[in-house]
Amino acid sequence: MKILMIDKGMPYDFDTPYNEPLGGSESSFLFLSQGLEELGHSIVLLNTSETNVPQQRNNRILHNVNTLKSILDQSDVVILNRCLPEEPFAANKRIFYYSHDAYDQDHILYWMVNKKVLGQVEKILCVSEWQRDTFNKYYDVPLDKMVVIGNLIPIDMFQGYTERKENKLIFASIPYKGLEMIPDLFSDICKKAKRYDLELDVYSSMELYGDDKGDEKYIKTFSELQNMNNVNLYKPTNLRELIHAFKTSSVMIHPHLYHESFGINFVLAQGAGCIPITVNSGAVHEVIDNHQSGLITKGKTILNKHTYEDFIDLTLAFMESSKNQIKLMRQNAYFNALKWNYVSVAKKVLNLFTNI
C-alpha cells in the first residue's frame, strides 16, 4: 500500500526526535510512519521542513509539503496531522485525520463544526476515548466516525540498565499544565516526608512550541524553582535524554491544570520505570493503570485542598513502599507502556484501512 502522510505541525526530519526537542504530535506521527514502513508499506511523509532535498530511509521518503500535488495521485491512503481536511485533495482519496489535540484547541475549533469539511474525512484517529467522547459531546461528531488508536512510542529505547536515584522526582511538561504548582508541591512533599535529601528535575518551557515570550508569565515560578535547594531546571530536551531522565528518576509528578487528551510523557515515564503521579482529569485513567503502573488522585483538580493533600500522600506512600512493591510497580509500568509501541499501533491503523 502507498500511504501519504501530511503534517503541518513543527518541522522535523527522521532523526529530529533523537537530537532535538519535538512535540508529541509530530513525534507520534513520525513513529507511525516508521511502523507502517516496517510492516511492509511505502510511505511518503510531507511536513513543514524547508529542505528541497528529499530524505529517504528504507521505504520511507520525507519531503516538504510543496511537493503535495506531484505525489498525491500516487497514494492509496492519506493521513493528516494538523493539516485541515479542507485542503485540495483528490476526490477519490481515502482521508484519515490523526488528532492529538483537546476539543478546545485551535486546531480543532474550526473544521469539526463544518459538516462539509468533516465529510471529507473517512475516520478521525483519536488518541483516547476521552478525546473521542468530547469531540462527540461538543461537536456532535458521530462516534462511528472516530477510532481510538493512542499515541506511539519507540519501546526499544527503554532497553539497558541505568542507575536510578530513588530520591529523585521529575516534572516534564509544558508550563501551563501545572508548573506553578511545583514549588509548593515539592516543598510540601519534602516537609511531610521529613526528607530534605529529595531532588527534583524540571523540564519545562514554551520555547518548544515557538513561543519565545510564553515563559514570561511563569518568571516568578521559574525564579522560585531556581532558588530552591535540590531543584534543577532544564529546557525541553530530545527523546534520548528525556527517557534517560525518566530512567534515573523515581517518580514523575504531574499536577496538571489542563486536561490531558493522552499524556505522552506518562507513557514515556512508565516505559522507563518512573512512576507517574497525577490528578484525575482527561484521559489519565486510559494511560495509567491506577495503583498498578501509576497513581491518580480521586479529585480532578490540584487546586482543591483535598486533592492537593491526596497527591502528596500518594507520592509518599509510593516512596515509602517496600522494595518488592516498588519493583513490581515499575515492572507493571513498563508492560503498560508496551501497549503504545509504534509497531503495535501501526498494526491497528493498517487493520482500520483494510476492514473499512
pLDDT digits (tens, 9 = 90+) for 2-16: 999 999 999 999 999
C-alpha closest to that of 257 among 177, 183, 343, 356? 177
- At 319, the pLDDT band (50, 70, 90 cuts) reads very high
Q: What are phi and psi of 248, to 5 degrees?
A: -95, 0
For residue 117, what pLDDT is reported? 85
> Cα 166 to the chain's mean position, in Å?
25
Residue 245 φ then ψ, to 5°: -65, -40
Question: Residue 284: enclosing H or E segment and its boundaries?
Answer: helix 284-287
Phi–psi pair at 177, nearest 5 degrees = -95, 30
CATH number corresponding to 2-152+341-355: 3.40.50.2000
* Model pLDDT, residue 108: 75
Q: pLDDT per residue over 28-68, tens digit each?
A: 999 999 999 999 999 999 999 987 789 999 999 999 988 87
Identity of residue 96: F
All three cell numbers of 23, joined, read 512535540
Return the minimum-mean-pLDDT range out of 51-60, 186-195, 213-222, 311-320.
Answer: 213-222
pLDDT at 213 exceeding the cut of 70: no
Residue carrying the nine cell digits 493528516? 80
Domains of the chain: which residue ranges?
2-152+341-355, 158-338
Q: Does the fold of domain 158-338 match that of domain 2-152+341-355?
A: yes
- Sequence-separated (6 or more) residues with CB below 8 Å from residue 16: 22, 30
pLDDT of residue 111: 82
φ and ψ of 6, to 5 deg? -125, 125
pTM of the model: 0.94
The architecture CATH gives domain 158-338: 3-Layer(aba) Sandwich (3.40)
Q: pLDDT tens digit string along 250-297?
A: 999 999 898 899 999 999 999 999 999 999 999 999 999 999 999 999
